[in-house]
Amino acid sequence: MRTLAKASVRRGLRPLLVLPLFFGIAGPSCEYDVVEDPGFQFWCGDELCEWDTVEGEIERVPTWHEEDAAVALIGSPVTLEQRFATRVNGCVLIELIADVDPGVSVTIAIDEDGVEPPEWDADVDRSGFQRMSWRVEVDVRGEPENDDAPDPDAAPPGTVRIQKTTPGHAVITQLRLSKRCGGHSDP
Amino acid sequence: MTWTYRALVVAVFATCLHSGPNTARADFAEGQPWGLEFGFGWGRTRSSDYIRTLEDFGYTRDSRTGFRAVVAASRRVCRYFEILFQFNTLDDQNFARSAGIGVDDSFKFSTLAFGIHGRAWFPTPNDRFRAYAQLGVGSSVAITRLRTRLSQDAPRTEFRDAQWSYNITSLLGIEGMVSKHVGLFLNGGYVFAPVPKNLFGQRHQSGGGLVLVGISAHFGRTR
């Protein structure tokens, strides 16, 4: 009888055993972007609203749809840059969709502290709007060198940069940097 | 298009002029020159370069429906042949893409087809079951809707577009008459409707195979 009672209690508690698994694995999660306008959709006249054209000329070009915009890097050199929209520390997924002719030199780089050389960079060698992706450890927290507490209102120091150094066809339609948080761990 | 036209001519000849005088019944579909049909069913399309390009641009499919509907009006032009004006719903897919901050971008297309069809009936010993072959040509239209944001603060802007193309439809069916004027039908076949199209010139085939069931009504008075 006692064994039977134990067994039924065990059966009753069985569903509870999966709860930690549920919250641990499939628990609340989120994903946030650390740069704005990753799709180069926001144009203020001839310039991108969220990206700084440090040097060179850019142009809005349509892609698969008239209203799905991309940025064409005209001539060379061309440098586009954006400061990180948020502080981030950890693994960041970088997803790029580009159409760059072979032989045209385009790189993307992450500069964590504003001091050359950048902490990470990669060549973009995809034609026909192919996707490239990387997982990169990024530390853009704005921690001061001394013991002062970081100013929470100050912009994070990191930047992401697209640089074209040779002439030729180069169109970038997406440069997304995203960070996962919550229930999921970084891969 | 030429083969479609030839097939249609052959169908007319086969049914109107040479429709087996041995099996033809003088009272086949007597008093039923007009018809109406409503049906629904299931269809399937394949992936395409158009869809793969959407995926290359960061879109993932939210949903697609295999539901198909058909509405048709028919007029018998000779004993075993009728002309239909037919309307079909075809592929319908929804896609979404993370826009970074805020609500996702979305893209949707829904394709419709309509056209003139010729239907050749096969003589049967009695009128309870009727088999037919059907061939049609006409227009197809894909209604596309892109929702994206054009500035950081603005809500998403919607861009609608209607893209036109042609369609070729072939169907085989059977109809069982539950009364003299009302029947239930089952048909299946293939629709070729190369629309929508993107700026790279890639087209999605919105037709594909389909199976439909429905109800039909035949009425009117012959002279």
User: What distance in Å separates the CA atoms of residue A35 and residue B149, rounded to the nearest whole number?
Assistant: 16
Residue in A43, A49, A63 nearest the CB of B57: A63
Report the pLDDT value the prediction gives residue B204, as an integer from 0 to 100.
Answer: 97
Q: Give the mean pLDDT of B173-183.
A: 90
Distance from CA of A130 to the nearest CA of B (A): 6
The confidence band for B21, taking pLDDT boundaries of 50, 70 and 90, is very low
Pairs of residues, one from chain A and one from chain B, whose beta carbons lie less than 8 Å apart: 75
Question: Which pLDDT does position A153 carry in this prediction?
Answer: 61
Tell me the shortest Cα–Cα distance from A33 to chain B, in angstroms.
Answer: 5
Cα–Cα distance, A171 to A73 (Å, whole number): 6
Question: Is a pLDDT exceeding 70 seen at residue B1?
Answer: no
Chain A interface includes B101 (CB < 8 A): yes
CA A7-A11-A14 angle, to 5 degrees, is 135
The pLDDT value recorded for residue A185 is 38
Query: When comparing pLDDT for B18 and B197, which is higher?
Result: B197
pLDDT averaged per 10 residues in sequence order, chain A, 187 residues: 48 47 47 84 92 96 93 96 86 91 94 85 86 88 56 70 95 88 44
Beta bridge partners, B37, equal B72, B216
Q: What percent of chain B has pLDDT over 70?
A: 82
Distance from A131 to chain B by nearest Cα, in Å? 6
The pLDDT assigned to A102 comes to 93
Burial environment of residue A147 by CB neighbours within 10 A (0 to 12, 13 to 18, 19 or more): exposed
Chain B contact present for A97, CB below 8 A: yes
pLDDT tens digits, B126-143:
768 889 999 999 999 999
CB contact under 8 A, B150 and A42: yes
In the prediction, which pLDDT does A151 show?
59
CB contact under 8 A, B151 and A49: yes
* pLDDT band, residue B9 (cuts 50/70/90): low
Query: What number is the ipTM of this complex?
Result: 0.79
What's the pLDDT score for residue B154? 73
Structure confidence by residue, pLDDT tens digits, B23-60: 556 666 667 889 999 999 999 999 999 999 999 888 89
The alpha carbon of residue B152 is apart from the nearest alpha carbon of chain A, in Å, by 7
The residues near A16 (Cβ < 8 Å, ≥ 6 apart) are none
Chain A: nearest CA to B206, how far in angstroms? Answer: 18
CB contact under 8 A, B99 and A41: yes
Under an 8 A CB cutoff, do B99 and A31 touch? no
Q: In which element (H, E) is residue B205 found?
A: strand B203-205
CB pair distance less than 8 Å for B100 and A42: no
pTM of the prediction? 0.76
HSE (side-chain half, CA atoms, 13 Å) at A107: 11
Q: Give the per-residue pLDDT at B93.
A: 96
B159 with A35: Cβ contact below 8 A: no
* Nearest residue in B to A50, CA atom: B152
| pLDDT (0 to 100) of residue A17 | 45
Best of A47, A61, A67 to substitute, by most chain B Cβ atoms within 10 angstroms, is A67
DSSP B47-110: --HHHHHHHHTT-EEEEEE-EEEEEEEEEEEETTEEEEEEEEEEEEEEEEE--SSSSPEEEEEE
Q: Which residues of A touch B151 (CB under 8 A)?
A: 42, 44, 49
Mean confidence (pLDDT) of chain B: 86
Q: What pLDDT, on a 0 to 100 scale, did the predictor assign at position B36?
A: 97
**pLDDT of residue B161 exceeding 80:** yes
